[in-house]
Structure 1
Amino acid sequence: MKRRDVGKPFSTEPFNLKNVHSPRYTGLCKQRVLGVDPAKDGKGIVFSFRTKKHKNKPGKNICKTTIKSDPRKTLLTVKNFINKNNYRKDLRMAALRRTSAILRSQQAQPFRKIRGRRGRRDRVAPVKTKKPQ
């Protein structure tokens, strides 16, 4: 039974940049596909695409590259690959947005001060008492 009022159904297939069940973003039946995933060690991204070599061998025709440079260089690398190789320009913004989101999630979170009563109590220096003699 199909559920109503759900909007677009999601997809978990590889090479689907938006994780949306749609012919444009599918990574299964297209000859040229892009994939952006977080690196295993949590630093940088794994940029993957399909090559023209080994067309009949799906396991061999995927090229994966790990990019660990700073966020601006990483975004520029992804953008230049898509533009200069004429490689699925319709996926450019989706790839850049996914790259940016992954890199943002890998940044260290800033230290937050505790506000309110607990914060004030923790900030006040403990009172030194004299030891009885």
Structure 2
Amino acid sequence: MESGSNSFLCKRKQAGGVQLSRDPLNLVNKHSRKYEGFVNDQAIGINRDDNTVKMTTKLPKRKNNPAKMYQESSFAASTPARKVYKSVVNSTAKKGYRADLRAEAVARASAIKRSQREKKDKTPPTKLRGAKA
């Protein structure tokens, strides 16, 4: 891995000089060899695409064929959250494909599903009581 620079690296002076990543196959957006998708032969990416959750996996057998290197599956917004989480775990960790990223993958899918929910009004309208009603 390029230690000093790469196209996905995003250095910030705040918070003690944290190094972040813009890699679409990085589940936690942290610049670390464990999470970087362009370094590892097997990588998982979970991203938002319009109103869906898109899961991308990198296929190690096709590393010399970039056009066919990625497998994508998407879940509609109407898909229940638990079903999305189970599908993410079944298609990755349970098959022995990067089992170390199970918690990160579910957390990323959960955050995307939470962001796609419709926002509720914080305060309900007040009801007038008595003669003013």
TM-score, normalised via structure 2 length: 0.76
Aligned residues: 119
* Alpha-carbon shift at residue 10 of structure 1 (Å): 0.7
- For 1:61, the aligned partner's letter is M
Contact preservation (8 Å) 2:93, 2:101 = no
- Runs of 5+ in structure 2 lacking a partner? 1-11
Indicate the residue corresponding to 2:68 in structure 1: 60
Cα distance in structure 2, aligned partners of 1:7 and 1:92: 28
Indicate the residue corresponding to 2:22 in structure 1: 12
Q: Which shows bigger deviation, 81-90 or 96-105?
A: 81-90
Could you list the structure 1 runs, at least 4 aligned residues long, displaced by more than 6 angstroms after superposition.
none
| 1:1-133 to 2 correspondences below 5 Å | 3=13, 6=16, 8-40=18-50, 42=51, 44-68=52-76, 69-113=79-123, 123-124=127-128
Contact preservation (8 Å) 2:93, 2:100 = no
- For 1:62, the aligned partner's letter is Y
* Alpha-carbon shift at residue 84 of structure 1 (Å): 2.7
Identity of aligned residues (%): 29
CA RMSD of aligned residues (A): 2.5
- For 2:68, the aligned partner's letter is K
Q: Which has the larger radius of gyration?
A: 1
* Alpha-carbon shift at residue 107 of structure 1 (Å): 0.9
- Runs of 5+ in structure 1 lacking a partner? 129-133
* Alpha-carbon shift at residue 83 of structure 1 (Å): 2.9
Three-state SS of the structure 1 residue aligned to 2:73 is strand
1:6-49 CA distance string (max 9 Å, x none): 25311111201100010100011110000000122x2x310110
TM-score, normalised via structure 1 length: 0.76
Contact preservation (8 Å) 2:45, 2:57 = yes
